[in-house]
Structure 1
Amino acid sequence: MMHRVAVLTRHNLLLRLRDPSHLVSYLVMPMVLMLVFKPMFGEAVQPVTGLLVMFSVLSMADVATATLTERVWHTWDRVRATRASVLELVVAKAVPVFCILLAQQALLLVYGVVAVGLRTQGSAWPLVLAVCTWCFALLGLGTAIAAVVRSHGELSTISNVGALAVSALGGALVPVAMMPDWAQAIAPISPGYWATTALRAAVRGEADWRAAAILTGLGLVSGTFACWRLKRGWGRSSVL
C-alpha cells in the first residue's frame, strides 16, 4: 500500500510541478494586494491573514482539478482498474497539493512579516497548527468538489463563487465586526471564518483549539464523502 501511494504521489507531484501557473499567480496577486490594502486598515494582520485565506481557497481548486483531469483524459477507468483503492488514489492526489498549499501559505506569511510589517508574538507552533488544519480542510473540500462536478466549467464557477463567499463571510476582506448584523450572524458557517480566527489567534501567539477542531472535522467529513462518492463510480463511463 505504501509503495503504491508513494508511486502515485510522485506521479501527481510531477503533474503539479509541470504546470505551476496557479501557484505563481496565487502568490503574486496576494502579495500585491497586501501592500495595497495595508494603508486602508493601518495594520498588517487583516490584509495578510485575510488575503492568505482568500487565495488559499482559490488554490483549493487544484486538488479538484487533479481528480477531474483524470476523467477528461479518460484515464480514471484505468486508474480504478489497478490494485490501488479509492483512499490510496485520493491520498496520492491530496499530498502534493497539501505540500503546495503549505508552501504558499508559508511564503505569504514570511512576505507579510518582511514586506508588509506583520508582527507575530510567542512561538511559531500556533501558526503551524492553524495553517496545517486549514490546509487539511481545503483538501477535504476540494476532493469533495471533485466528486460532484462534471466539468472544468462547473469547477471554475464553484471555486470562484465559493472563494468570494467563503472569504467575504469569513472576514477575510473586512473584519467580521465591520460587517452587517445579518452577515455577522451567519459568518460561523463559513470555513474562512474559522481559518481567519485561527490565524489571527496564532499571530497573537495563541492556539485556537476550537477553530482547529472545526477545520479538522470539516476536512474529515468532506474527505469521507468524497471517498464514498468516488467509490460509487463517479467518473466512470457509466456513473452508478
Structure 2
Amino acid sequence: MSSPAVTPPRKAAPASAASRAVVHKELLLNRRDPLLLVMMFVFPIVLVALLSSALGGAFALGDPPDYVLVGRQSTAVAQRLGEPESVVSLDEARRRIGAGEVSFAVVTGDDGEVRQLIADPATRILLPTMLAAIEGKAPDVVGPDGKPYSSGASPYAATLLGFVIYHAFFAASHAAQSVHRERTWGTWNRMLTLGLGKGWLLTAKMIPTVLVVTLQGLLLVGGGCLVLGIPVHSPLGLAAGCLLAGLCVAGVGAMLAAVSRNDAQVPQLNNLLVLVGGTLGGSLVPLAIMPSWVRAVAPLTPQYWLVELFKGATSRGAAAADMAFEGLMVLLFCAVLFGVGVAAMRWDRFRHA
C-alpha cells in the first residue's frame, strides 16, 4: 500500500513582493479612513484660516518677545521693551536672527531711541507686539538681509508650518494601530508567513505613513506657501523636510506600537506626545514668547527641529549648512524612535490563538 504524497511547504514570497503587498494593503486601508484624511489635510487648513489673525491679536496683548540690542542702551527703551538679551554688533544681530536664535534686534541711535527693527521673517505674527511696545513713531522694519520686511514675511509663516507639523504627528496613532489591528483581525500569523524579517515587516507597515505625511507636507506647506505668499528659498530643503517629517512620524508610530498594550491605548499615548511635543517644540505657539525653560527644552522634541527646518527652507532662507544640521537631528530622532520600536516590540503577543 503506497504512502500518501507529502505536499511540499509553500515557499515564502520574495521579500520585495511581500513588502509591496503589505504596503499596498495599508495604503488601501488609509484611503478608506476618512478620519485620517480629514485630520491630515483638512484640519490644518481650517486652523490656519481661523486662528492666524486671532493668535496675532492675542500675542499683541502680551509682553514683548526677547530681543538683542544694537547701539546705545537707554532707560526708556528698557522700560518699554524690557532688558535686552544681549548687546551685539549689527552683523551678529543679523546672523542670530537669520539662524532663528532670536526674533528681533533693536537698533538705536546715539540718543538711545529706536531707529530700526530687524525682524525674523518666520515670526511676523509677533511684529505687532513689538511695534506696540516701542510706541511713538514706528521704526523701519527690515529682515536679516537688510531688505524691507514686507517683501519676505507673511503673517501665516508661523501658523501654516506649525499647524501642519502639529497635525502630521496624529498619523503616528494610525500607524501604530495598523500593527495592533492585525491581532484584532487574527491576521498576524498570516503576515509572518510572508517570510519578511520582523524589522522589515514593521518597516513595510510604516511606509504608507511616510508617504501620507510627505504628501501632506508637499500639498499643504508647498501649496500654502504659493497661496499665502510665503517665500520658498529652498524647494529642495522643503521637500526634504516633508520626507523627514514622514520618517519621524513613522518612527513615533513604530515606538507606539511597541509600548502600547492594545490598540485602544495607542491614541491616548499619541495624543499626549502630540500635545506636549507640539507645545514645547513651537508648533502651536512661537517659542520667542514662551518662557525661557520651554526654549531650553524645545530641542529635545522632533517638532522643534522640523519647524526650524521648514522655516529655514521658506521665509527665513537659512544657510544650507544650518538646514543640513537640522535635517540630521530629525534623522537622529527617526533612528532612535524606530530603534526603540524594533527593540521593544513583543512580537508573540500579536499572535492570534
Letter in 2 for 1:217: L
In the alignment, structure 2 segments of 5+ residues that lack a partner are 1-14, 57-124, 126-153
CA distance in 2, matches of 1:165, 1:78: 37
2:215 to 99, 103, 108: 103
Aligned to 1:134: 245
Greater share of strand = 2
Question: By how many angstroms is 1:228 displaced?
Answer: 2.6
Where relative contact order (Cα < 8 A, 6+ residues apart) is larger, the structure is 1
CA distance in 1, matches of 2:31, 2:280: 32
Aligned to 1:154: 265
Cα distance change on mapping 1:226 and 1:171 into 2, 3 Å: same
Greater share of helix = 1
CA distance in 2, matches of 1:116, 1:65: 35
Aligned to 1:120: 232
Conserved 8 A contact 2:255-2:341: yes
CA distance in 1, matches of 2:337, 2:351: 21
Q: Deviations over 1:169-199 (max 9, x none)?
A: 0011111111012211111111111111111
The secondary structure found in structure 1 opposite 2:340 is: helix
Aligned to 1:56: 168
Aligned to 2:326: 211
Cα distance change on mapping 1:234 and 1:147 into 2, 3 Å: farther
The secondary structure found in structure 2 opposite 1:172 is: coil
1:3 to 17, 29, 42: 17
CA distance in 1, matches of 2:158, 2:248: 21
Aligned to 1:187: 298
Letter in 1 for 2:217: Q
Question: By how many angstroms is 1:101 displaced?
Answer: 0.8
Moved more, 176-185 or 104-113: 104-113
Moved more, 173-182 or 109-118: 109-118
Q: CA RMSD in A?
A: 2.0
Letter in 1 for 2:264: G
Is 2:271 the partner of 1:163? Answer: no
The secondary structure found in structure 2 opposite 1:173 is: coil
Question: By how many angstroms is 1:115 displaced?
Answer: 3.9
Letter in 1 for 2:32: R
Number of equivalenced pairs: 237
Aligned to 1:43: 155
Question: By how many angstroms is 1:97 displaced?
Answer: 1.4
CA distance in 1, matches of 2:317, 2:232: 7
Conserved 8 A contact 1:31-1:111: no
Question: By how many angstroms is 1:112 displaced?
Answer: 1.9
Question: By how many angstroms is 1:34 displaced?
Answer: 0.6
Letter in 1 for 2:207: V
Cα distance change on mapping 1:164 and 1:50 into 2, 3 Å: same
Conserved 8 A contact 2:180-2:263: yes
Conserved 8 A contact 1:34-1:48: yes
Is 2:205 the partner of 1:90? Answer: no
Conserved 8 A contact 2:308-2:326: yes
Bigger Rg over Cα: 2
TM-score, normalised via structure 2 length: 0.63
Cα distance change on mapping 1:232 and 1:7 into 2, 3 Å: closer
Letter in 1 for 2:51: F
CA distance in 2, matches of 1:49, 1:231: 36
CA distance in 2, matches of 1:132, 1:49: 14
The secondary structure found in structure 2 opposite 1:233 is: helix
Question: By how many angstroms is 1:163 displaced?
Answer: 0.8
Conserved 8 A contact 1:53-1:192: yes
Question: By how many angstroms is 1:231 displaced?
Answer: 6.3
Letter in 2 for 1:109: V
Letter in 2 for 1:215: V
Cα distance change on mapping 1:181 and 1:166 into 2, 3 Å: same
Conserved 8 A contact 1:35-1:116: no
1:18 to 25, 32, 37: 32
Cα distance change on mapping 1:234 and 1:211 into 2, 3 Å: farther
